[in-house]
Copies of this chain bind each other. A is one copy, B any other.
Amino acid sequence: MQGGPPWVRGLHGRFRNYGYRLTFPRQAILEAFTKTDKHLSAIDVYGQVHKIYPGIGLTTVYRTLELLAKMGVLFRFEFGDGKTRYELAEGPRGQRHHHHLICVNCGRVIDYTDFIDEEIELLHQIEKGLSKKYNFKITHHQIHFYGLCEECK
């Protein structure tokens, strides 16, 4: 296994550092995330990867998603539909950090990047305080706003 998109080559070392191998299925799973802005579930990923590599097994998808989350390459989300979803922690083009609006009626999820700067600043201060008080090493955060979307109001 060699070649592939440039950003994938950079992951080789990252995998090795963890004692993991960068195999074709793993690379194909990663690529699925670079082709969408959506929050993909295991089955979503399976569907995508299956198109270019029909031999893929669902089990491998589950194991790889967990692995990538542990490595910090993906973030894990749950929006209330019973499926765990994942997103690239940092997009190939350095996408901006974002938060979510979730419709409690239809389940629609909207990513927003507005106001993020103000949020981030405050959150960083809070992180500092919480880390000290609770002796907790904070790595990331999520903000979810719940309510009714345009359609469901």
Contact = CB atoms under 8 A, between A and B. Distances in A.
Interface string A129-153: 1110111111111111111111001
A22 interface: no
Given A130-B114, A141-B145, A150 B135 contact: yes
Contact of A141 (B115, B130, B133, B144): B144
Given A119-B122, A130-B101, A136 B148 contact: yes
Contacts of A129: 114-115
- How many copies of this protein are present in the complex? 2
Interface in A109-136: 110, 112, 114-115, 118-119, 122-123, 125-127, 129-131, 133-136
Given A118-B122, A122-B118, A129-B114, A148 B137 contact: yes
Interface in A39-93: 76, 78, 80, 82, 84
Contacts of A136: 101, 103, 110, 145, 147-150
A34 to B, nearest CB: 23
